[in-house]
Amino acid sequence: MALPLDKEVRPEGVVPNLMPVGEQITGFEEPDIIYMKLTGTVTEDEVRVINEMQIDFCRGREKVFFLIDLEELESLSNSSRRAAIEGLNQMPVGGLAVYKAPLTARVLAKLLVTGMRLFGKYLALQFFDNEAEARAWIEEQRTA
């Protein structure tokens, strides 16, 4: 069963299949978008389950893009950030498009990207006011 993500109308007119993991939500949208909505305090257990699901979404794909709603993210512990970095290291990520992120969420996202650089992996990270702008950026990245 699909769950509405927010009140915005998606350009495709279809809501992807979404899967809740605790308070968090993830899902895959063809051809190459991993959607995430992070809410409240994200636990290490939630991150590990999400990682497994997202690594599975990546199977057989050369590149995926993350479309991430961080409007309601409050915190991400050090252990949760480490687990997220471990998962991202196993995925062919083409970029992270984050939208509706308040300052704290932006800082947390930047910490993840910085952690990835310590492993020699550069991830493009951009922030947007809304989902439509984030999707437009992903489309640009596909053709770059």
Predicted confidence (pLDDT) at residue 23 exceeds the cutoff of 90: yes
What does the pLDDT look like over 115-128, one tens digit per residue? 999 888 999 999 99
Residue type, position 97, single letter = A
Pair 21, 54: CB distance under 8 Å: no
| 91 secondary structure, DSSP code | S
Phi/psi at 122 (5° precision): -95, 130
What does the pLDDT look like over 27-86, one tens digit per residue? 999 999 999 999 999 999 999 999 999 999 999 999 999 999 999 999 999 999 999 999
* Tokens 């770059």 belong to residue: 144
**Domain regions of the chain by residue span:** 18-143
> Residue 6's closest CA among 127, 132, 126?
132
Separation of first and last alpha carbons in the chain: 34
CA distance 17 to 73: 21
What does the pLDDT look like over 86-139, one tens digit per residue? 999 999 999 999 999 999 999 999 999 999 998 889 999 999 999 999 999 999
CATH 3.30.70.270 fits 18-143, yes or no: no
